[in-house]
Amino acid sequence: MTRRAPESFRGIYASIVCPMRADGSVDEAALAAHAAAVAGVPGMAGLLVNGHAGENALLTREEARGVLRAARRAAPGARIVAGINAEASQAAAALAQDAEAEGADAVMVFAPFSWALGADRRTIVRHHQTIAGATGLPLFLFQGSVWAGRLAYDAGTLEALLALPAVVAIKEGSWETSAHEVTCRIAGRCRPDVLVMASGDEHLLSTFMLGSAGSLVSLAAVAPELVVALDRAVTAQDFGAALACHRRLTPLAEAIYRAPPPGLVAARLKACLHLLGALAAPACRPPVGPLSAAEMAALAEALEAAGLPPAKDATP
């Protein structure tokens, strides 16, 4: 299989959630409806499936493959980037092979959570090499948050990963504009063909202004039109329109991502979709439980501020 050129992946991708039933099982019908609705928004380039917002660490291999299958069938024309999150390299390689079999266009390699305690550079590169060698799909790197322990790659590690021919893009999730700019400089020096795509949902305006070839963000699963509009405004250098989009998105982004504790992001995304009438139930897989009435009310207020009023029959 001939890998696609990096440039073909430019654009906005929504990192979709994984709808679940009350018993914690994957609701594939709701997933298909969610994927189709988001992918159908004008200007949306594609979907990131089985990302952190999709609770990828909590899915079995069979479930992750089923999620990809459902998304591909629901959004046949969308480019799909499949998230790969596994501690063992062989398990990650198997997930990548499943993604290729289900019609994904690329895979994104998430750093295993154990690396937050520290990982040798050779281990990190070998993990990515193993995945690249198991499939003909292009690879997206994931640059972790500066707040996520040692999950953010240092300059030398990022340079070593960019030397892998399969790499076509970086989901730049530093959540800090200065770190985003550093990643852009490293990529520009080592692999100018590789796309750097902003991922800090609270900082989209500033990172888009610094330079971004698009974005892969879960905020686009809740407010897809606004994220697309922000990207278009920055590209057109219409900074008044860009600032207007930013001011609408900021309270919502802060309510979802900045409010403590950070481990409830997937639950908040699902709650927002439920409040908007786009998701029948906001259930997450245990150990994450339902949000409190106060938390739901705060999200409803943030949606209102973004100009996305909750459905009248939604229960905050």
Question: What is the CATH number for 203?
Answer: 3.20.20.70
As a whole number of angstroms, the distance between CA 279 and CA 301 comes to 18
Residue 46: inside a domain, yes or no? yes
pLDDT-based confidence at 316, cuts 50/70/90? low
Residue 262: inside a domain, yes or no? no
Full domain range(s) for residue 39: 6-238
Contacts of 185 (CB under 8 A, 6+ apart): none
Residue 305: inside a domain, yes or no? no
Residue 15: inside a domain, yes or no? yes
| Alpha carbon of residue 171 to chain centroid | 8
In three state form, how does the secondary structure of 257-300 look?
HHCCCHHHHHHHHHHHHHHCCCCCCCCCCCCCCCCCHHHHHHHH
- Residue 129 burial (10 A CB sphere; 0-12, 13-18, 19+): middle
Residue 219: inside a domain, yes or no? yes
**What mean pLDDT comes out for the span 98-116?**
95
**What mean pLDDT comes out for the span 91-105?**
98
| pLDDT tens, position by position, 232-250 | 999 999 999 999 999 999 9
pLDDT-based confidence at 2, cuts 50/70/90? low
Looking at residue 87, its pLDDT comes to: 96
Contact 72, 50 (CB under 8 A): no
Q: Of 189, 200, 88, nearest to 142 (Cα)? A: 200
Question: What is the rounded radius of gyration, in angstroms, for the C-alpha atoms of the chain?
Answer: 18
Beta-bridged to residue 143, according to DSSP, are: 172
Residue 256: inside a domain, yes or no? no
| pLDDT tens, position by position, 123-136 | 999 999 999 999 99
Residue 316: inside a domain, yes or no? no
Percentage of residues in the chain with pLDDT exceeding 90?
85
As a whole number of angstroms, the distance between CA 181 and CA 172 comes to 10
Q: Does the pLDDT at position 119 exceed 70?
A: yes
Which amino acid does the sequence have at 147? W
Contact 140, 81 (CB under 8 A): yes
Q: Kindly report the average pLDDT of the chain as a whole number.
A: 94
Our count of domains for the chain comes to: 1
Alpha-helix runs per DSSP H in 141-223: 155-162, 177-190, 204-210, 219-222
pLDDT-based confidence at 79, cuts 50/70/90? very high
As a whole number of angstroms, the distance between CA 115 and CA 85 comes to 12
| pLDDT tens, position by position, 252-288 | 999 999 887 778 999 999 999 999 999 999 999 999 9
Q: 258 phi and psi, to 5 degrees? A: -90, -30
Residue 311: inside a domain, yes or no? no
Q: Does the pLDDT at position 1 exceed 60?
A: no
